[in-house]
């Protein structure tokens, strides 16, 4: 007759040991999962939120972004053949550490790369003597001669690091009325040119300050700058209460999961700089 294999009941100490092993295995699995998530969110991608309107209407206040941190990462001897590293290009949107305060993170568009000659006349950008057509630019305020013509004449500068960086740019990197972008640096501007603290006011973006490029708007919520930029307890509590009350009505569903793309140079119809573009118009 076929015989069945007898299963002996486990001893109490064996059961205890098995439970401890299962607990350890569970903890190990969760530890690995958390480490992978941390690796992914600190090495591969990172989440950011747009707190100001300097990139309107491309990026809005309250857009929550996933940023590709590998796109502009330094190339290794082997990884450069495997991973799609690249240098920032004209028209790319970049996320970087603000040169005047690296604790702050800015999002702007690359207008100039190393070696470019840049000039702004009556709100129009000329790069290497050619006028750029910039369909992404948005103007919300009236013309201002100081803001909308660049570079201006060097004037008295303040003592802040931002002012000193601007001074260095205007005094040491202007040739024949044009700013020349130095090596390992980039000139970046916001799409909302009338309300953007950009390279016009603090100089160039060092290559080492660039974190990555936005990939995706994973969520967009109609909130104010004070709600998003506030760091005190009252601001945070107020923001969470607002989320609880208006999550469904203030979420911009049409922007959710929207892919973010730059505006490559090949799409820019260019025209030669006119002879009379050397001086600001009176408006």
pLDDT at res. 246:
82
What does the pLDDT read at residue 151? 93
DSSP code for 42: I
Q: Given this model, what pLDDT does residue 4 score?
A: 40
| In a domain? residue 10 | no
Dihedral pair phi/psi, residue 79, rounded to 5° = -65, -25
Domain with 92, as residue range(s), is 50-272
In a domain, 34, yes or no: no
Q: What is the pLDDT of residues 94-144, one digit of tens each?
A: 999 999 999 999 999 999 999 999 999 999 999 999 999 899 998 989 999
CA distance 147 to 166: 14
Q: Looking at residue 238, what is its pLDDT?
A: 73
DSSP state string for 107-130:
EEEEEE-TT-EEEEETTEEEETTE
Domain membership flag for residue 113: yes
Q: Are 93 and 262 in contact (CB under 8 A)?
A: yes
132 domain-assigned: yes
Q: Confirm whether 27 is domain-assigned.
A: no
Helices (H), ranges, 2-152: 12-39
Q: Is 59 helix (H, G, I), strand (E, B) or coil?
A: coil
Regions of the chain with pLDDT less than 50: 1-10, 32-38, 278-283
4 assigned to some structural domain: no
CATH of the domain at 119: 2.10.109.10
Q: Is residue 279 part of a domain?
A: no
Report pLDDT for 29: 52
CA distance to 66, 94, 144, 225, 227, per residue, from 213 (Å): 9, 5, 31, 22, 24
User: How many domains does the structure of the chain reveal?
Assistant: 1
37 is a domain residue: no
Res 269: pLDDT: 58
Secondary structure class of 169 (helix, strand, coil) = helix
């Amino acid at each position: 007759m076929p015989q069945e294999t007898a299963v002996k009941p486990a001893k109490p100490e064996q059961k205890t040991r098995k439970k401890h092993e299962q607990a350890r295995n569970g903890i190990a699995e969760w530890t690995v999962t958390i480490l992978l998530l941390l690796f992914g969110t600190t090495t591969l991608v990172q989440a950011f939120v747009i707190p100001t309107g300097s990139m309107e209407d491309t990026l809005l206040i309250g857009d929550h972004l996933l940023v590709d941190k590998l796109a502009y990462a330094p190339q290794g001897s082997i990884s450069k053949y495997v991973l799609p590293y690249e240098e920032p290009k004209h028209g790319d949107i970049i996320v970087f550490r603000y040169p005047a305060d690296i604790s702050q993170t800015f999002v702007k568009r690359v207008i100039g790369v190393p070696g470019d000659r840049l000039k702004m006349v009556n709100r129009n950008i000329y790069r290497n003597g050619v006028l750029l057509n910039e369909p992404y630019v948005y103007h919300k305020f009236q013309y201002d001669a100081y803001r909308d013509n660049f570079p201006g004449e060097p004037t008295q500068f303040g003592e802040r690091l931002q002012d000193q960086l601007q001074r260095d740019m205007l005094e040491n990197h202007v040739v024949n009325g044009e700013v020349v972008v130095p090596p390992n640096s980039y000139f970046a501007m916001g799409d909302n040119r009338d309300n953007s603290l950009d390279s016009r006011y603090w100089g160039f973006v060092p290559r080492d300050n660039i974190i990555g490029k936005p990939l995706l708007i994973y969520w967009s919520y109609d909130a104010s700058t004070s709600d998003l930029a506030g760091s005190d307890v009252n601001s945070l509590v107020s923001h969470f209460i607002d989320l609880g009350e208006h999550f469904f009505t203030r979420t911009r569903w049409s922007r959710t999961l929207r892919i973010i793309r730059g505006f490559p140079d090949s799409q820019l119809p260019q025209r030669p700089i006119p002879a009379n573009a050397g001086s600001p118009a009176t408006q």
